[in-house]
Chain A
Amino acid sequence: DGGITQSPKYLFRKEGQNVTLSCEQNLNHDAMYWYRQDPGQGLRLIYYSQIVNDFQKGDIAEGYSVSREKKESFPLTVTSAQKNPTAFYLCASSLNPGREQFFGPGTRLTVL
């Protein structure tokens, strides 16, 4: 069954801890993206990757890091440097940059 999966669905973190959110796709898409959504708002871009072993910062990259070692995987680490990490995190992919984007189900992160 093709698609984009994200795990975990819910994540609770104590202040000062780093956490990693998983994003996997089996669509053979080259491009992958991480977005953040705050209540009542649209999505904002954190990081993107157009091809394996390459990634670039988006509009709100401070306090986050990513890797793209495999085509199908694009994990996001939320570090302790991120001042307000409680949010809904969505991963997306597209066949090529500029083509239609498809989204995973998201991870809700709460910092306690």
Chain B
Amino acid sequence: GIQVEQSPPDLILQEGANSTLRCNFSDSVNNLQWFHQNPWGQLINLFYIPSGTKQNGRLSATTVATERYSLLYISSSQTTDSGVYFCAVDPNSNSGYALNFGKGTSLLVTP
């Protein structure tokens, strides 16, 4: 099956700093989503981005499908950004268009 690798696995930032999270995938995909999992376990949709660039406030994402990677940028980080960030892809040959998840990047933003 498709491999989804996220880096770094862990990240500690001081409030106000910027960061870039990376997602590499091993095959072509129909769909790519970025999620933020909060401390209560809720998965919050950040971006639906099979290709191109999108921005939402302090967050932006870029997917280069031909090179099989996606980047999530967090600018001016806040303590509320803490949590786990997941990249998930829907491979072309997947069953039912279900998502394949990476293991996540655990982010801690300190005051």
Contact = CB atoms under 8 A, between A and B. Distances in A.
Bind each other: yes
A109 interface: no
Interface residues on B, range: 20 to 34
B18 to A, nearest CB: 25
Contacts of A99: 31, 97
Contacts of A92: 99
Contact of B43 (A44, A45, A98, A103): A103
B66 interface: no
A44 B30 CA distance: 18
A41 B103 contact: yes
The A interface is mostly helix, strand or loop, or mixed, namely strand
A98 B103 contact: no
A31 B96 contact: yes
A58 B95 contact: yes
A56 B42 contact: no
Chain A, interface size category, equals 20 to 34
Given A88-B41, A90-B43, A105-B42, A42 B98 contact: no
B101 A33 contact: no
A98 B89 CA distance: 10
B9 to A, nearest CB: 9
Interface of B: 1, 4, 30-31, 33, 35, 40-43, 45, 48, 86, 88, 90, 95-104
Interface of A: 31, 33, 35, 37, 40-45, 48-50, 56, 58-59, 88, 90, 92, 94, 97-103, 105-106, 108
